[in-house]
Amino acid sequence: MSFVLHMLGEALDRIASGDAELLATLGRTLWLAAASAFVAALVGIPLGARAGLRAHGPVGGFRAVAANIGLGLPPVVLGIILGLLLLPGAPLGGLRWLTTMNGIWLAQVLLAAPLVAALTAAAVAQGPANLVLQARALGASPRDRLLLLLGEIRPALLAAVLAAALLGIGEVGAVIIIGGNVAGHTNTLASTVVLDLAASDTAGATAHALLLLGLVGILTWMHGRARRAAGAAA
């Protein structure tokens, strides 16, 4: 056990000393999580709201399977598909986004948007249908009704965006395939654990893992609060 405790101690030292590389990686990870969750929300909430308003009961058949695949697609698979598309000469090759943070960001938006859309659709479908109908009976326009509905399910939307951020933050499959895990450029807290272990820097790997766990803990706590608020509203 002393080995584990020693590594934890060294890792905490590394974090407390404000290691520059550690901070830079933390910054990249936070930027990535925020930027991908934000864009996933911009794309996913309108799509989910549309689907949720149209859905009367569960979606069946092929569309449901497709939705489920989008929700749980292994990041490695998405990474390879996107990687092929980003190759020079491929349709998105002109972007030159392979081994860049922009490429990772695109991958995580594509991973998170279906989740945001699905959670939004579920919240909208379970949302206060009576209230929306009542608003219509009192003359509310479609835009009024959508705003009313999104306002009513605000906590659920926040929970969806936080779930999207949680999804991306610990992900390494797409990060490594698209970003290449180039130290100092395209590594995140999670992918640095792999880098450091390969370089036999156990304390460094532990420090990055601890920071990652801390971030996940904070986001999970916020997510739990948002979900409870959404549950209390339902």
46 binds other proteins (CB under 8 A): no
Residue closer to other proteins by CB (options 101, 152) is 152
Measured distance CA(139)–CA(147) in Å, rounded: 14
CB of 85 to other proteins, least distance (A): 6
Of 16-24, 35-43, 170-178: span binding other proteins (CB under 8 A) = 170-178
Binding to other proteins, residues 120-159 (CB under 8 A): 121-122, 125, 128, 130-131, 133-141, 144, 148, 151-152
Measured distance CA(125)–CA(123) in Å, rounded: 6
224 binds other proteins (CB under 8 A): yes
47 binds other proteins (CB under 8 A): no
How far the first Cα of the chain sits from its last, in Å, is: 47
Measured distance CA(36)–CA(42) in Å, rounded: 10
Q: Kindly report the backbone phi and psi dihedral angles of residue 137, in degrees, each rounded to the nearest multiple of 5, phi listed first.
A: -65, -20
Of 25, 120, 187, 206, the residue at the interface with other proteins (CB under 8 A) is 206
CB of 119 to other proteins, least distance (A): 7
Measured distance CA(188)–CA(103) in Å, rounded: 13
Binding to other proteins, residues 182-201 (CB under 8 A): 190-191, 193-194, 197-198
30 binds other proteins (CB under 8 A): no
The percent of the chain in helix, strand and coil, each rounded to the nearest 5, is 80, 0, 20
